[in-house]
A and B are shown apart, each in its own frame.
Chain A
Amino acid sequence: MESVKAPMKFDLAVTPLREVNQFLHKEAPATPGLQVKIENPNGAHAIAAGMNAPLDVTIEGHAGYYAAGMNHGASVTINGSAGTGVAENMMSGKVHVKGFASNAAGATAQGGLLVIDGDAGLRCAISLKGADVVVGGSVGSFSAFMAQAGNLVVLGDAGEALGDSLYEANIYVRGTVKSLGADCEEKPMGAAEREVLAGLLARAGHLDVDPFSFKRYGSARTLYNFHVDNAGAY
C-alpha cells in the first residue's frame, strides 16, 4: 500500500529564505513532484525564485517581489497576492496567484503558464517572450508592452496603451480596453484563434468562459522597419 506523503513545510518566520531557496535548488530536485509548503511568507521577496525541477510548491499568504522568478519546470501556487514581477522570466512550469498581482507580472517570461485569479497591475506581461499569461480580473496600463511572443488573456478590462510596441504576442481581452498602444490593433478572431483561446482558458481553469466574448489584438507591424512618417510613434 502506498503512503501519501504530507508536504514538506518551511516557516519563513523561523527559517531564513536563503535556506529554503537553496533546498529547493539543491536537495529537492532529487524528488520530482515533491510537495513543499511555505508558511508565513509575509511579503518576503524572491520566494521560490530560480527553481529548476518539477516541484509542487505552495506559498501560504502574500508574497513580495519576484515570487517564483525564473521558474523552470515547477508548479507554484500562491494563496494570497504577489508583489512586483511574479514569475518574471519564467522558462516553463506553472505559477498560480489566487489573489491579485502587482506590476510586471510575468515580465519577459519565455515559457510556461502564469494564472492570476484577481487583477494584475501595470505592465502585465511586459516584454513577454513566449509564455502564456491568463488574468481573471483586469490588467493595468502598458500591459504587453513590447511583448514579443506568447499570449496574454484578460477576462476583465485593460488599461491605457495596451500592447504598445507589440511584436508577435497575441492579446485577448473580454472587457473594455481603455486605449491601444502604438502599433497595436484589433485582429480578426476566427475559428482557429478561438480554439487557441479556448485551450488557454481551459489550462487556466476557466472552463465556463466563452471564447466568443473576447476580442483579439496584435501588432500592426508598421514599426518593424523604421520609416520617418511613423516618427510620432517612437
Chain B
Amino acid sequence: MNAPTVLHELELGATQTPPRFSATFDPGTMAEIRRAAATGIYDIRGGGTKRKLPHFDDLLFLGASVSRYPLEGYREKCGTDVVLGARFAKKPIHLKTPITIAGMSFGALSAQAKEALGRGATIVGTSTTTGDGGMTPEERGQSQTLVYQYLPSRYGMNPDDLRKADAIEVVIGQGAKPGGGGMLLGQKISPRVAKMRCLPEGIDQRSACRHPDWTGPDDLEIKILELREITDWEKPIYVKVGATRPYYDVALAVKAGADVVVLDGMQGGTAATQEVFIEHVGIPILAAIRPAVKALQDLGMHRKVQLIVSGGIRNGADVAKALALGADAVAIGTAALVALGDNDPRYAAEYHKLGTVPGAYDDWHEGKDPAGITTQDPALSSRLDPVQAGRRLANYLSVMTMEAQIIARACGKSHLHNLEPEDLAALTVDAAAMTQVPLAGTSWYPGQGGY
C-alpha cells in the first residue's frame, strides 16, 4: 500500500488519536517553505488576494417595505448611465453602465484577449483601459471608449496614443501591490511585447515603482498640467491608487487636479507579482470606500470628482453596494477574464498538466494559459476567439447591470446613483466598522455609542 498523505487514509489503532495539522504551519504553508528552500526565489503568481476578507457579502440591502416603495421593472426606468471627468476636460466620458474594464496590459494578456475586452465593452457602452506596455491597435480599434494608462515604467508610452485615447489614467499604484511596480517575466517577453516595451526578448522585465519624473502630489499636479497641455485640455485625467491610506490619497489626488480617482482594493488582480505582496499589502476595498468618499465630501467634491472602485467586483450586488457607499462607478479585471474563459473547466486536463485545477490556476506569469488569455504563446492565444469572447463579456456586463437595477428598483431608486449608505445593513461587526453601516436590526456601528 502507498504511504498515506491525507489524514483519512490513515489506519489508526483503538488507542491512537488522529494526528492534527497546525493552523499556523498548515500543509500549504509547509509546502511554500519547502518550495522557497528548493528554489531560492519568492513565489510569484497572478490574481488578487485569495484569502477570505471582509467584502461586499457582509452587507445587505434593505429593500422596499411599508415605509419605502419599490419601482416596477420594465416600465419604471432605472437609469444606469454615468459621466466621468467633467471637472476640467472638454470631452468627458459618457458611459451607459457604471461597470468599466480595469487596466490590464497587452503583455500580461494576449492580443486576442485585449480585443475581446474592447469588443465586449463597446457592445454594452462602457470603457476599457490599457495597461503597462502601451496601447495596441487592436484595442483602440475595437474599444469605443479607451482609457490610456500612464505608468511609472512608461513602456510603450507615446504622445500619439495619448492623443488617440479618450481619457488618461495616471497610475500611482494598484491594489495587488501598492508601492510595487509591474512585473513581466521572460517567458512572456515575446518579440512583439519586447518591441513595444523596448526590451530585449526573453529577459525578465523589471519595473519601476515610482514615476521617473515626479514624486508627490505637488509635483503630480504639474505632471497633470503637462498631460492636459499636451492634449489641449480635452481629455479627463484619472489618478489610480491601490487602497492603503485612501482618505489622504483621494484628498491629494483631488488637490493635484484629478478629474476621476480610481481606487483598487487588495483583491484587485495582477498578472504577476510576489505572493507576499498580494496577500499582505493593501486593504480590502470594503474598508477603503468610506474614507475615500469622506475625503471627497470633506473637500466638497463628491460627485464632482468621480470615484471608480475595483477589487473583487463579481456581480450586480457588488456593483450596487459600491455605488450605495458613494462610488460613481466600478471596474472589473479578474471577473472580466473569467467571463472571457479564464480558468474554464473545459480545459481541466490541461490545467492538471500544469499541476492545478480549473478555478485555482494562477501561474499567469508563466504564460502557459490553456484558455489563451494570460499568454503570449501563439498556439494557445489563438484558442480565444475575440468575437465570441467579446460576446460573453457583453453578456456578463449586461447581467451585472440588470442585477444592479433590480436591487436599485427594489430600494425605490430610479437611478443607480440614488443608492445611498442608508439602504444597507451589515452582517458583521467588522463590516459595520469599516463601512459605518449599522449592524442589521440595529442602529449601531463601532465608533458610535449605544445599541
**Do they bind each other?**
yes
Among residues of B, the one whose C-beta sits closest to the C-beta of A22 is: B232
| Contact B213–A66 (Cβ < 8 Å) | yes
List B352-367 residues whose CB lies under 8 Å from chain A.
Answer: none
Indicate whether B33 reaches chain A with its CB closer than 8 angstroms: no
CA distance A25 to B163 in the complex (A): 11
Indicate whether B13 reaches chain A with its CB closer than 8 angstroms: no
Among residues of B, the one whose C-beta sits closest to the C-beta of A168 is: B200
CA distance A228 to B225 in the complex (A): 42
Indicate whether B349 reaches chain A with its CB closer than 8 angstroms: no
User: Given contacts A70-B159, A89-B154, A126-B213, are A228 and B230 in contact (CB under 8 A)?
Assistant: no
Residues of B within 8 A of A64 (CB): 222
Residues of B within 8 A of A91 (CB): 158-160
Residues of B within 8 A of A79 (CB): none
| Contact B232–A21 (Cβ < 8 Å) | yes
User: Given contacts A72-B160, A226-B41, are A149 and B198 in contact (CB under 8 A)?
Assistant: yes
Out of A45, A148, A225, A229, which one reaches B199, CB within 8 Å? Answer: A148
List B134-154 residues whose CB lies under 8 Å from chain A.
Answer: 153-154
Residues of B within 8 A of A223 (CB): 204, 206
CA distance A17 to B232 in the complex (A): 11
- As a 0/1 sequence over residues 196 to 233 of chain B, the CB contacts with chain A under 8 angstroms (1 = contact) are 00111001101010001110000100110110011111
| Contact B230–A50 (Cβ < 8 Å) | yes
Residues of B within 8 A of A89 (CB): 154, 157-159
| Contact B230–A85 (Cβ < 8 Å) | no
| Contact A146–B231 (Cβ < 8 Å) | no
Among residues of B, the one whose C-beta sits closest to the C-beta of A21 is: B229
Residues of A within 8 A of B237 (CB): none
Residues of B within 8 A of A62 (CB): none
List A76-124 residues whose CB lies under 8 Å from chain B.
Answer: 84-85, 88-89, 91, 103-104, 107-108, 110, 123
List A120-147 residues whose CB lies under 8 Å from chain B.
Answer: 123, 126-127, 129-130, 145-146
User: Given contacts A167-B199, A228-B41, are A107 and B223 in contact (CB under 8 A)?
Assistant: no
| Contact A25–B41 (Cβ < 8 Å) | no
Indicate whether A58 reaches chain B with its CB closer than 8 angstroms: no
* Chain A nearest Cβ from B349, distance in angstroms: 30
Number of interface residues of B (CB under 8 A): 31
| Contact A129–B198 (Cβ < 8 Å) | yes
CA distance A149 to B153 in the complex (A): 14
Among residues of B, the one whose C-beta sits closest to the C-beta of A52 is: B159
Among residues of A, the one whose C-beta sits closest to the C-beta of B230 is: A50
Among residues of B, the one whose C-beta sits closest to the C-beta of A229 is: B40
| Contact B219–A84 (Cβ < 8 Å) | yes
Indicate whether A224 reaches chain B with its CB closer than 8 angstroms: yes
Q: Which of B40, B212, B213, B225 has the most CB of A within 10 A?
A: B213
Residues of A within 8 A of B158 (CB): 70, 89, 91, 110
| Contact A146–B162 (Cβ < 8 Å) | no
| Contact B229–A50 (Cβ < 8 Å) | yes
Indicate whether A69 reaches chain B with its CB closer than 8 angstroms: yes
Place the interface of chain A in its size category: 35 or more
Indicate whether A75 reaches chain B with its CB closer than 8 angstroms: no
Out of B41, B160, B226, which one reaches A46, CB within 8 Å? Answer: B226
* Chain B nearest Cβ from A112, distance in angstroms: 12
Indicate whether A184 reaches chain B with its CB closer than 8 angstroms: no
Indicate whether B186 reaches chain A with its CB closer than 8 angstroms: yes
CA distance A22 to B226 in the complex (A): 13
* Chain B nearest Cβ from A19, distance in angstroms: 10
User: Given contacts A70-B159, A91-B159, A110-B158, are A46 and B213 in contact (CB under 8 A)?
Assistant: no
* Chain B nearest Cβ from A152, distance in angstroms: 14
Residues of B within 8 A of A227 (CB): 40
Out of A45, A72, A145, A224, which one reaches B226, CB within 8 Å? Answer: A45
Among residues of B, the one whose C-beta sits closest to the C-beta of A103 is: B213
| Contact A226–B204 (Cβ < 8 Å) | yes
CA distance A25 to B233 in the complex (A): 12
CA distance A22 to B223 in the complex (A): 18
Among residues of B, the one whose C-beta sits closest to the C-beta of A72 is: B159
* Chain B nearest Cβ from A48, distance in angstroms: 9
Out of A18, A149, A228, which one reaches B229, CB within 8 Å? Answer: A18
| Contact B204–A65 (Cβ < 8 Å) | no
CA distance A91 to B161 in the complex (A): 12
Out of A25, A107, A108, A168, which one reaches B232, CB within 8 Å? Answer: A25
Given contacts A91-B160, A223-B206, 9 further A-B contacts (CB under 8 A): A18-B229, A26-B232, A52-B159, A84-B222, A85-B214, A107-B212, A146-B206, A146-B208, A224-B204
Interface residues of B (CB under 8 A from A): 39-41, 153-154, 157-160, 162, 186, 198-200, 203-204, 206, 208, 212-214, 219, 222-223, 225-226, 229-233
Please list 27 pairs of residues, one from A and one from B, whose beta carbons are closer than 8 Å in the complex, sorted by A's number. Answer: A18-B229, A21-B229, A25-B232, A26-B232, A45-B222, A46-B222, A52-B159, A64-B222, A66-B223, A70-B162, A70-B230, A72-B160, A85-B214, A103-B213, A104-B212, A104-B214, A107-B213, A108-B154, A108-B157, A127-B212, A129-B198, A146-B208, A165-B206, A167-B200, A224-B200, A225-B186, A226-B41
